[in-house]
Amino acid sequence: MTSGPGDALGGHTGLGLRTPPPGLVLREAHAHLPALGESLTLERLDACTSLGECLERVRGACGRAGAMGESTVRLASARVEAWAEARWPTLSELDEASGPSVGVVIMSFDHHLAMANSAALNGAGLRAGERVKERGVVEADEHHRPTGLLLEDAAYKAWGWAGELSESQRLPLVRSALRLLAELGYREVHDLHSPAWLGPVLRELDERGELSMDVGLYVPLEGIGEAVAGRTGFETSRVTLLGAKVFSDGTLNGRTAHMLHRYSEPRVGYSRGQCLIAPLVLDDHIRLVESLGVQLAIHAIGDGAVRTVLDCVKRVRASRNRVRIEHAEVVDRADVARFGELGVTCSVQPCHLLSDIEALRRFLPHRLDRVLPLRELLESGLKPGHIGRPGDPDAGLVFGSDVPIVRAEPEDSIVASVLRRRIGMAAEDAIAPEQAITEAEAWSCFGIA
């Protein structure tokens, strides 16, 4: 189980975790507002401690749905690593719990993997072994039967099939997401991978006087041309289109983050994870945003993905602050100084460390010293809290949470940055303690500079 720092704020750490330094205005640099709003309404599995408990929850939710005449169920935030069995149910176990008539989709907490029962696989039209868009996989066993596990776009297809936000739900959900962030002290938020409807909804909130903070948007790359052309239709003094977002690799938990070295226990066929965009295609994406005058935020978790992105920025001679790298959870020593040299914003979510410790020890025991090298990144000259507009010479190191994949409390990232482990863990369990930064330094990465 992930224990957030909140359960151990007894003062024995000496950290003033909940209190940012006076005068510091906080920015949440990486959030997903629609998913956060939705997550406040969905049934969540993050408190489950075993496979049996998960299946009980499925049984209960499907029973209630059936009684109400509903044919789909969505369950959020499953963290299989926290279950005693540390595995997903088999398809027959899930089908047995759900029954044949309700389609169930269980989303992993990291939003890159889901499990669907047979009714949902059939309903969403997903066949064993099928690819969905570039990055989606419908996993098959050795007999070419579906396992129920769905990666990336296959997971989103099933999730979307099981329930799409209706138009009338959008505004209240975004408002409640923003309210939650405002209560945590944030005064600015960047939304990564914003759907086309988000800008207009934010504008409406602003016009009603209900927008609680400044919002910067990064839309999916395929929609950036349209978003730039239509930006006057939704931008206000507080709502700004900042750029586009793409994914260059997967996740550490899924062992799909693109690494320079092999994982221990690699996925078959993906011993160093997955490179989701060919470098030459990424070059074109950077040229496109350059021509449109906006930024490109690139999801790159593994050290291989980080290096690929930096190489692309160099090759196309992108303007400084044209590109920001999201996550950068593992960074090779040779690449640390390149963020500053190339003018690439380093946007990290140290809080992920708290939930990734077990996966890191299991899958990357040989690279623990390269996890979130915050000390080196700051010493390389990155400016804490700074996100420059394209052309601005300074490159920054900024913090966010990636909510709702993890919770948005800034103290989680402060703990991860300073202690490099969860509160309550032994000091020797810290991941790369030599990369710790001070509380003041960590807070400054949340500040708007």
By CB atoms closer than 10 A (0-12, 13-18, 19+), residue 195 is middle
Q: Which is nearer to Zn ion, 73 or 151 (CB)?
A: 151
- Closer to Zn ion by CB, 402 or 412: give it: 402
We find the least distance from the C-beta atom of residue 144 to Zn ion, in angstroms, to be: 33
Q: Using DSSP bridges, classify how beta strands 113-116 and 72-78 pair: parallel, antiparallel or unpaired.
A: unpaired
Q: Which is nearer to Zn ion, 36 or 336 (CB)?
A: 36
For the bound state, the minimum distance from the C-beta of residue 323 to Zn ion, rounded and expressed in Å, comes to: 16
> What minimum distance in Å lies between the beta carbon of 111 and Zn ion?
8
Strand-strand pairing, 146-151 and 186-192: unpaired
Tokens of 339: 């963020």
CB 327, min distance to Zn ion, A: 8
Q: Which residue has the tokens 């704020």?
A: 9
User: Which residue, 356 or 402, has its beta carbon nearer to Zn ion?
Assistant: 402
Cα maximum dimension of the chain: 61
Hey, is 173 helix, strand or coil?
A: helix
User: Least distance to Zn ion from the beta carbon of 359, Å?
Assistant: 17
Pseudo-torsion of CA 133, 134, 136, 142, nearest 10°? Answer: 110
Cβ nearer to Zn ion, comparing 83 with 247? 247
- Least distance (Å) from Zn ion to the CB of residue 103? 26
> What SS3 state is found at 147?
strand
For the CB of residue 284, give the shortest distance to Zn ion in the complex, in Å: 23
Closer by beta carbon to Zn ion, 347 or else 435:
347
Q: Shortest approach of Zn ion to residue 33 CB, angstroms?
A: 11
| Contact present, 305 and 278 (Cβ < 8 Å) | no
> Which residue's beta carbon is nearest to the bound Zn ion?
402
Handedness of CA 239, 244, 250, 251 (dihedral sign): negative
Cβ of residue 241: shortest distance to Zn ion, in angstroms?
18
Residue with token string 């749905």: 65
Report the side by side order of strands in the sheet with 239-247. 26-31, 186-192, 214-220, 239-247, 295-300, 323-327, 345-348, 396-399, 383-384
Q: How far apart are CA 341 and CA 103, in angstroms?
A: 50
Nearer of residues 83 and 186 to Zn ion, judged by Cβ = 186
Closest CB to Zn ion among 152 and 376?
A: 152
Strand blocks (E) in 356-447: 383-384, 396-399
* Cis peptide bond prior to 404, omega within 30° of 0: yes
Residues forming contacts to Zn ion in the complex (CB under 5 A) are 402
258 burial (CB, 10 Å; 0-12 / 13-18 / 19+) is buried
Amino acid (1-letter code) at residue 433: P
Neighbours of 12 (CB within 10 A): 9
Q: First-to-last CA distance in the chain? A: 35
Other Cβ atoms within 10 Å of 228 Cβ, number? 17
The residue (of 95 and 402) whose beta carbon lies closer to Zn ion is: 402
Residue 405 or 432: the one with the smaller Cβ distance to Zn ion is 405
Distance of closest approach, residue 30 Cβ to Zn ion, in angstroms:
6
CB of 38 vs Zn ion, minimal distance in Å: 14
Cβ proximity to Zn ion: between 72 and 295 the closer is 295
Exposure b/e, 131-148, CB count within 10 A at least 16 = b = ebeebbbbbeeeeeebeb
